[in-house]
């Protein structure tokens, strides 16, 4: 008995939609790319319920005839490919002919389109790949496509969507990429009837400032380099504009947004010696290359492409960025003709990305305040020369076991506490000397305090007499609104305005005042970095991020009462030995260890 049969078109389209449309942002990407390909000079994106209820893209492009409008809903129907060789001469965004067919399979789709010279346009209404209505209509030239009730006929897929704030953030990401790639197009984003972005036609530098804020006006370095193989244009940021997250790095190959860790490393290495560890530079770089030298047909979302000579592209990008930095007197300039082997030499570098993962949740909590004179396990005492990596390994190895301290040292009473080089706090104990890393210790103290406040929703707030106004990138603004309750539990208070602006009216009690904007901005950056690199739960991430940004720093002079308070608070912590990031908070020099420095 034969068991193999062809899938019905409706099911085949739903399967194809699973590759092309993973979430509302995927639909936004496909519809906006089609609008760009249609030659539009103005594109409006209208969103409701984070795209779950409505995604509408309106453009003033060339529009479609009635026949083309109907054909555009068929799978593999495209105006851009006639033969296989055309795949290697592509300069448009969409080309597979799957987007509209896929969207029509998993949503209710309405289309209005009119050619410039036609008096009437065409109206189509489609549900689950079935055309319900087709009729002439009076409409503006161009095309308007509305996607309603996405995944209404696939409840399981709809249930996998994230919260509205998360899904909207992904939509904004796609909007940013298309807006950056096409500054000559007027883009508008309307969310729930509010205009979030209105980006008139501009130069690339102006578009960057429109999207990321006025602080980038003086942070952009022009990047322009050309070789017979590839041309690089765009902007890279000054070292001061670097962030702890990778959210503001953009590559475009022939105006198509792409992802490439390999090419990102080329840019990162060009900043060697100019950035603090863990920081990433801002850049918007355009790679112009003959289409025959790349293959864009390697991934359904078309964000990954192949270069026929990736090493050459790596080397030229690295040299171009160094040239931009050199012209700004940030590092010596590079002459592209100095070394014919420059590309090969630079492209042989490897990306040594380090990933961290650490958990403390399984450590047994102890009341150290009652036994504050009992410090650490004997195996950690006096190992002054031990490398931090070894210490971290010991810590992480305990994550599935209970922690029990062995009492070995006690404080002497009435001893003097003092600072060394404004970095370390010294305190004598009965059998030696304790040295505390003030920065790591304070982070541990704040971390445990913030965790408790988040759990109990009990953080007290200190009101700001003159509220600080802060304008944020759209994605950061969405992140703050998404975490408003958690931030309020820590003591932050806000008033929200339009245009991604908020006023800070209160901050966590007990923290230094006067730098509210810097504190919140740093908290957001640290949170995003932790989110991407460590995948921490939201409460742990927030507590760690705020502790790192609000803690006292090395080099900060402390008053005698602050020194004593630091020690008392550290010893009251559940895990006083390490900072949230695994750094040792203190060492004990016991007498036998001290004697080794004086006896032969």
- Tell me the CATH number at 215: 3.30.230.10
Q: Are residues 188 and 77 in the same domain?
A: yes
Per-residue pLDDT at 9: 67
Asked if residue 188 belongs to a domain, the reply is yes
Q: Could you say which of 201, 216, 247 is where a domain stops?
A: 201
Answer for the pair 505, 492: CB distance below 8 angstroms, yes or no.
no
Q: Which of 30, 116, 102 is nearest to 65 (CA)?
A: 116
Q: Which of 420, 458, 464, 449 is nearest to 551 (CA)?
A: 449
Q: Are residues 495 and 385 in the same domain?
A: yes
Query: Given the structure tokens 């609104």, which residue do they identify?
Result: 481
Answer for the pair 493, 461: CB distance below 8 angstroms, yes or no.
yes
- The rounded distance, in Å, linking the Cα atoms of 513 and 502 is 18
Tokens of 155: 């409840």
Helix axes 438-456, 538-550, angle to 10 degrees: 140
Q: Are residues 188 and 220 in the same domain?
A: no
Classify the C-alpha dihedral 131-137-141-146 as positive or negative. Answer: negative
Q: Could you say which of 286, 317, 347 is where a domain stops?
A: 347
- Quote the distance between the C-alpha of residue 522 and its chain's center: 14
Report, in angstroms and rounded to the nearest whole number, the Rg of the chain calculated over CA atoms: 29
Q: Residue 559: what are its φ and ψ, rounded to 5°? A: -80, 160
Per-residue pLDDT at 166: 86
CB under 8 Å, gap of 24 or more: what pairs does 186-195 form? 186/41, 186/42, 186/43, 187/42, 187/43, 187/44, 187/45, 188/42, 188/43, 188/44, 188/45, 189/45, 189/47, 190/44, 190/45, 190/46, 190/47, 191/47, 191/48, 192/47, 192/48, 194/498
Per-residue pLDDT at 298: 57
- Tell me the CATH number at 86: 3.30.565.10
Per-residue pLDDT at 3: 77
- Tell me the CATH number at 529: 3.30.1370.100
Please list the alpha-helical segments (H only) found in 457-559. 474-482, 484-490, 516-533, 538-550
In this structure, how many other beta carbons lie within 10 angstroms of the beta carbon of residue 501?
13
What is the span of the domain harbouring residue 116? 9-201
The helix or strand, by DSSP H or E, that contains position 297, with its residue range, turns out to be none
Asked if residue 4 belongs to a domain, the reply is no
Query: Given the structure tokens 């076991």, which residue do they identify?
Result: 401
- The rounded distance, in Å, linking the Cα atoms of 419 and 387 is 23
Asked if residue 41 belongs to a domain, the reply is yes
Per-residue pLDDT at 12: 66
Q: Are residues 158 and 304 in the same domain?
A: no
Q: Are residues 176 and 223 in the same domain?
A: no
- The rounded distance, in Å, linking the Cα atoms of 43 and 241 is 30
Q: What angle do CA 291, 292, 297 make, to 5 degrees?
A: 75
**Structural domain count of the chain:** 3
Q: Which of 478, 553, 564 is nearest to 519 (CA)?
A: 553
The residues, ordered by sequence, that sit 6+ positions from 372 with a Cβ below 8 Å of its Cβ are 411, 568, 571, 572
Answer for the pair 296, 90: CB distance below 8 angstroms, yes or no.
yes
- pLDDT of 444-473, one tens digit each? 999 999 999 998 888 888 888 888 888 888
Q: Are residues 408 and 330 in the same domain?
A: no
Dihedral of the CA atoms 591, 596, 598, 600 (nearest 10)? Answer: 150
Asked if residue 28 belongs to a domain, the reply is yes
Helix or strand or coil: residue 349?
A: coil
Q: Which of 131, 212, 147, 127 is nearest to 176 (CA)?
A: 212
Q: Where are the beta strands (DSSP E) in 394-476?
A: 418-420, 424-429, 432-437, 461-471
Q: Are residues 303 and 443 in the same domain?
A: no
Dihedral of the CA atoms 186, 190, 194, 199 (nearest 10)? Answer: -20
Asked if residue 359 belongs to a domain, the reply is no
Answer for the pair 509, 491: CB distance below 8 angstroms, yes or no.
yes
Per-residue pLDDT at 589: 84
Q: Are residues 210 and 187 in the same domain?
A: no
Q: Are residues 211 and 169 in the same domain?
A: no
Answer for the pair 231, 253: CB distance below 8 angstroms, yes or no.
no
Asked if residue 123 belongs to a domain, the reply is yes
Q: Could you say which of 201, 222, 247 is where a domain stops?
A: 201
Per-residue pLDDT at 90: 52
Global pTM value: 0.63
- The rounded distance, in Å, linking the Cα atoms of 113 and 37 is 15
Stretches where the chain sits below pLDDT 50 are 81, 86, 95-96, 333-409, 413-414
Asked if residue 1 belongs to a domain, the reply is no
Asked if residue 3 belongs to a domain, the reply is no
Classify the C-alpha dihedral 208-210-213-216 as positive or negative. Answer: positive
The residues, ordered by sequence, that sit 6+ positions from 518 with a Cβ below 8 Å of its Cβ are none
Tokens of 303: 């964000």
Per-residue pLDDT at 254: 92
Q: Which of 225, 219, 209 is nearest to 286 (CA)?
A: 225
Answer for the pair 438, 423: CB distance below 8 angstroms, yes or no.
yes
Q: Are residues 191 and 266 in the same domain?
A: no
Q: Are residues 544 and 496 in the same domain?
A: yes
In this structure, how many other beta carbons lie within 10 angstroms of the beta carbon of residue 597?
7
Per-residue pLDDT at 10: 64
* Mean pLDDT taken over the chain: 79
Query: Given the structure tokens 């890393």, which residue do they identify?
Result: 437
Q: Are residues 239 and 136 in the same domain?
A: no
Helix or strand or coil: residue 544?
A: helix
Q: Where are the beta strands (DSSP E) in 102-158?
A: 108-114, 121-127, 130-137, 142-148
Please tell me the number of Cα atoms within 13 Å of 317 on its side-chain side. Answer: 30
CB under 8 Å, gap of 24 or more: what pairs does 55-58 form? 55/24, 55/27, 55/28, 55/31, 55/146, 55/147, 55/150, 56/144, 56/145, 56/146, 56/147, 57/28, 57/31, 57/32, 57/144, 57/145, 58/142, 58/143, 58/144
264 pairs with which residues across the strands?
A: none
């Amino acid at each position: 008995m034969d068991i193999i049969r062809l899938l019905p078109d409706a099911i085949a389209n739903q399967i194809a939609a699973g590759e092309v449309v993973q979430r509302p942002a995927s639909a936004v990407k496909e519809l906006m790319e089609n609008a760009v390909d249609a030659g539009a000079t103005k594109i409006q994106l209208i969103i409701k319920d984070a795209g779950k209820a409505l995604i509408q893209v309106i453009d003033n492009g060339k529009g479609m005839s009635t026949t083309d409008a109907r054909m555009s809903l068929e799978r593999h129907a495209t105006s851009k490919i006639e033969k296989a060789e055309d795949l290697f001469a592509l300069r448009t965004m969409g080309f597979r002919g799957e987007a509209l067919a896929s969207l029509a399979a998993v949503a209710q789709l309405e289309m209005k389109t009119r050619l410039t010279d036609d008096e009437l346009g065409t109206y189509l209404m489609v549900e689950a790949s079935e055309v319900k209505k087709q009729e002439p209509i009076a409409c503006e030239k161009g095309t308007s496509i509305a996607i309603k009730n996405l995944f209404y006929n696939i409840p399981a897929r709809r249930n996998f969507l994230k919260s509205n704030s998360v899904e909207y953030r992904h939509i904004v990401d796609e909007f940013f990429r298309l807006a950056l790639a096409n500054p000559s197009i007027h883009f508008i984003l309307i969310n729930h009837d509010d205009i979030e972005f209105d980006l008139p036609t501009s130069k690339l530098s102006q578009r960057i400032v429109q999207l990321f804020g006025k602080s980038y006006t003086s942070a952009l370095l022009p990047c322009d380099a050309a070789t017979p193989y590839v041309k690089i244009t765009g902007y890279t940021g000054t070292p001061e504009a670097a962030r702890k997250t990778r959210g503001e790095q953009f590559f475009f190959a022939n105006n198509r947004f792409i992802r490439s860790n390999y090419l990102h490393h080329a840019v990162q290495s060009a900043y060697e010696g100019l950035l603090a560890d863990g920081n990433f530079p801002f850049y918007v770089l355009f790679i112009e290359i003959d289409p025959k030298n790349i293959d864009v047909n390697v991934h359904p979302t078309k964000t990954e492409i192949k270069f026929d000579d990736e090493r050459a592209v790596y080397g030229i990008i690295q040299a171009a960025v160094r040239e931009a930095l050199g012209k700004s007197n940030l590092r010596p300039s590079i002459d592209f003709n100095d070394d014919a082997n420059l590309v090969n030499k630079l492209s042989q570098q490897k990306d040594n990305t380090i990933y961290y993962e650490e958990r403390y949740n399984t450590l047994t909590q102890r009341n150290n305040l009652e036994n504050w004179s009992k410090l650490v396990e004997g195996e950690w005492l006096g190992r002054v020369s031990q490398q931090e990596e070894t210490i971290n390994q010991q810590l992480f190895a305990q994550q599935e076991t209970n922690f029990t301290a062995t009492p070995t040292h006690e404080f002497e009473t009435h001893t003097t506490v003092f600072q060394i080089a404004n970095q370390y706090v010294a305190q004598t104990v009965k059998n030696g000397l304790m040295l505390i890393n003030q920065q790591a210790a304070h982070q541990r103290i704040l971390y445990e305090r913030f965790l408790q406040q988040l759990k109990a929703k009990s953080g007290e707030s200190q009101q700001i007499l003159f509220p600080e106004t802060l304008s944020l990138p759209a994605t950061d603004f969405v992140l703050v609104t998404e975490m408003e309750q958690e931030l309020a539990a820590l003591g932050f208070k806000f008033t929200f305005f339009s245009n991604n602006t908020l006023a800070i009216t209160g901050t966590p009690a007990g923290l230094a005042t006067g730098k509210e904007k810097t504190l919140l901005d740093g908290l957001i950056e640290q949170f995003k970095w932790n989110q991407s690199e460590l995948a921490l739960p939201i409460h742990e991430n927030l507590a760690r991020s705020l502790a790192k940004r609000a803690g006292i720093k090395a080099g900060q002079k402390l008053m005698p009462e602050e020194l004593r308070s630091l020690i008392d608070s550290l010893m009251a912590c559940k895990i006083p030995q390490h900072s949230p990031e695994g750094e040792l908070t203190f060492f004990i020099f016991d007498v036998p260890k001290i004697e080794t420095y004086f006896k032969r």
